[in-house]
Structure 1
Amino acid sequence: MGVRLDDIDYFLAVAHHGKVRAAAAALNVSQPAITQGLQRLEKELGFPLFERSSRGMQLTAVAVQFRERTQALRASLGDAIKEAADMHLGELGLLRVGVSPLYAQRLFVPATVALHRQRPAARLRLMLNLNDALVAALRLGDIDVSINALPGVVPPDLHALPLMDDALCLVVREHHPLLARRRLRLADLADAQWILPGPAVAARRSVEGRLAEAGLPPPRVTVEVSNTAGGQLNRLIAQSDLVSIMSEAQLDTPLGEGLAPLPMADARFTRTIGALTRKGVPLPPLAHRFLELLEETARAGTAAAKRPASRRAAKH
């Protein structure tokens, strides 16, 4: 079967940390994966690598020399891979990404940090904008990947990679008169004034559609946000009676300070966040790797990004 490279990495990590748990945490893998990898390696080599005890994992006498040789070889292999990747990238090392401001910190930044560590020769060009502008830039070929809320029906010329679920909610300032109503309904928003993005943005269309379904007129937009400055205007919501819409996850951040979600089911909009690419247009290897890192980032951050409704209720 041959020795697997990841099993060598597991062995070196356990030898360094002395415990499977610490090695798993350092490599960001599960403890069973480490244990199974060590078992495979020991079976392939034909001798035990560790003496296991309650105090941790101690290298056997034969494994001490094996570790020294393996560590040197692994370092050389890592340097060779990095050098080959840097040479291969060349002009292919430019990645053009568009991202909605809502997901820059949650998805783009962690994936980009990981990409930079793995591909230090790569260059990146970022477009930070709302989803309507991002999709337009993607279709024009100005960006390779767009990270934003996926449309309910993906256009036939685009390919969607779902990453995580998120929710938008209607928000007002704390102690807003609407929050004092005993039984809040959408009809109570008929006379409200709003701060919303432009009419081509999906969030705005979601609000308009929800009001239309209830037989209500479109929102009275007092402040229309047509660029990426929306997050900087949340203080305007907190200091006025305007109604707006924001990511549910943002309510736990400084951007959500002084704001509260409207307590009704119709004020919440669930949606899927993902990466869009152009169908039929080959992606460079760098873009493929970035998409893989986005998936890893989303899997790792989904549980932390979600916030139980009971906690929001307790806060507000």
Structure 2
Amino acid sequence: MASLIQALAVAEYLSFRHAATALGISQSSVSARIRALEEELGVQLFERNTRGVRLTAAGQHFIERVRAGIDHLDHAVKTANMIACGEKGTLCIGVHALLPGGFLDLLLERFSREYNNIRLHVVEGTARDTQVQVREGKLDIAFVAGTYELPDLHTRAIWRDRVMIALPATHSLAEGQDVVWSQLAAETFLVRCGGNGQQVQDLIAARSEGRWPMPAILRLNVGRVSLLSMIARGHGISVFAEENAVIAPPGVVFLPVRDELEPVALSAVWSPSNRSPALKNLLHLAVELNRDASRTDPTSRRPVLSNGHGAIRPNCTP
């Protein structure tokens, strides 16, 4: 490598003396190394005369290829360093939804801004589906509603939001400041088949168990926006996290549940065998964003700052 670098310097300056000065070594050392390189190759690279040095045709070809090789090597070193620091590569992320201005939307937007050489591949699916894909190595991480204890996966609640009931604006409860679960016992709940529909159904069942008959639940194979439109038309009510209010159409009212003491959690799920530095940086940024949000408005969100399986720190300083 030293011989190649010195050959490049001589080719650039067309002078052994100037090349030696630029490299901070003696002229005799440069001359001896270039001579040894030519003997090893069996090719004369430079023509020497009293007026200076010039490349031979073989030398010109050799130097061009060496310069390209050095550039490739330099790129390989820089790229490897960026990947090791989590600043280059791809992250595959599973979500149940991305809401404009929601926590996940802000997290991924900020991550893309700070790590713009990381390509994000986002897949939408249910909690069960995305967890399976994490296990299979198809996803680096999944963000799912609720909290989980999974023996083969790492999980951590990274964000909490208030539980809200979405009602038609014409509903008799819509004029109030909030609702309690007992007021909803006779209602028809609309629940999606996909997304976090199963978690919503489980929450409704848990709140009614042993207190009043299970409310009617209609499972619908529709998206979040369509579900809200059906609520606006008076077909039923549903349960949402507060951040969903930003996409509510006219005719839908979001009210907090007074006796729902626990906010709904958004959890990150990833494999303990996944050592991706980019994944570590994403998790660190999630905690940082949560902390920033709690400082801005500590009453509307309930941040989770505990680190569970150990402190989350960025792999390298971005």
Structure 1 residues 308 and 106, CA, compared in 2 at 3 Å: closer, same or farther?
Answer: closer
- Aligned-CA RMSD value: 3.7
Asked whether the equivalents of residues 250 and 256 of structure 1 are also in contact (C-alpha less than 8 Å), the reply is: no
| Distance in 1, Cα, partners of 2:155 & 2:138 | 17
- Listed as ranges, the matches of 1:80-229 within 5 Å are 85-86=81-82, 93-101=89-97, 105-151=101-147, 153-179=148-174, 186-198=181-193, 201-217=198-214, 219-222=215-218, 224-226=219-221, 229=223
Residue in structure 1 matched with residue 227 of structure 2 by the alignment? 233
DSSP-derived class of the 1:201 partner: helix
Q: Deviations over 1:151-194 (max 9, x none)?
A: 2x412222123322212222211230344799976454343222
Whichever residue aligns with residue 287 of structure 1, its letter is L
DSSP-derived class of the 1:216 partner: coil
Q: Deviations over 1:212-242 (max 9, x none)?
A: 242322x3223x2456x12342121112141
Structure 1 residues 255 and 307, CA, compared in 2 at 3 Å: closer, same or farther?
Answer: farther
Residue in structure 1 matched with residue 19 of structure 2 by the alignment? none
Residue in structure 1 matched with residue 39 of structure 2 by the alignment? none
Residue in structure 2 matched with residue 255 of structure 1 by the alignment? 248
Q: Deviations over 1:232-277 (max 9, x none)?
A: 42121112141111112332x1426432245652467523223111
| Distance in 1, Cα, partners of 2:247 & 2:208 | 29
Q: Deviations over 1:122-173 (max 9, x none)?
A: 222111233233223223322111112232x412222123322212222211
Instruction: Say whether residues 1:265 and 2:241 are aligned partners.
Output: no
Asked whether the equivalents of residues 234 and 256 of structure 1 are also in contact (C-alpha less than 8 Å), the reply is: yes
Q: Deviations over 1:76-100 (max 9, x none)?
A: xxxxx9766446589x712111123
Instruction: Say whether residues 1:286 and 2:282 are aligned partners.
Output: no
Asked whether the equivalents of residues 164 and 272 of structure 1 are also in contact (C-alpha less than 8 Å), the reply is: yes
Asked whether the equivalents of residues 186 and 214 of structure 1 are also in contact (C-alpha less than 8 Å), the reply is: no
| Structure 1 residues not aligned, in runs of 5+ | 1-80, 310-316
Structure 1 residues 283 and 108, CA, compared in 2 at 3 Å: closer, same or farther?
Answer: farther
Report how many aligned residue pairs link the two structures: 224
Give the TM-score, by structure 1 length. 0.58
| Structure 2 residues not aligned, in runs of 5+ | 1-76, 302-318
State which structure, 1 or 2, has the greater radius of gyration over its C-alpha atoms.
Answer: 2
Asked whether the equivalents of residues 154 and 160 of structure 1 are also in contact (C-alpha less than 8 Å), the reply is: yes
- Listed as ranges, the matches of 1:33-48 within 5 Å are none
Instruction: Say whether residues 1:245 and 2:239 are aligned partners.
Output: yes
Asked whether the equivalents of residues 192 and 227 of structure 2 are also in contact (C-alpha less than 8 Å), the reply is: no
Structure 1 residues 247 and 155, CA, compared in 2 at 3 Å: closer, same or farther?
Answer: same
Residue in structure 2 matched with residue 298 of structure 1 by the alignment? 290
Asked whether the equivalents of residues 197 and 225 of structure 1 are also in contact (C-alpha less than 8 Å), the reply is: yes
| Distance in 2, Cα, partners of 1:178 & 1:119 | 46
Whichever residue aligns with residue 157 of structure 2, its letter is P
| Distance in 2, Cα, partners of 1:82 & 1:103 | 36
- The Cα shift of 1:200 comes to 6.8
| Distance in 2, Cα, partners of 1:200 & 1:183 | 23
Whichever residue aligns with residue 176 of structure 1, its letter is H
Percent of residue pairs bearing the same amino acid type:
18
Give the TM-score, by structure 2 length. 0.58
DSSP-derived class of the 1:101 partner: coil
| Distance in 2, Cα, partners of 1:274 & 1:130 | 13
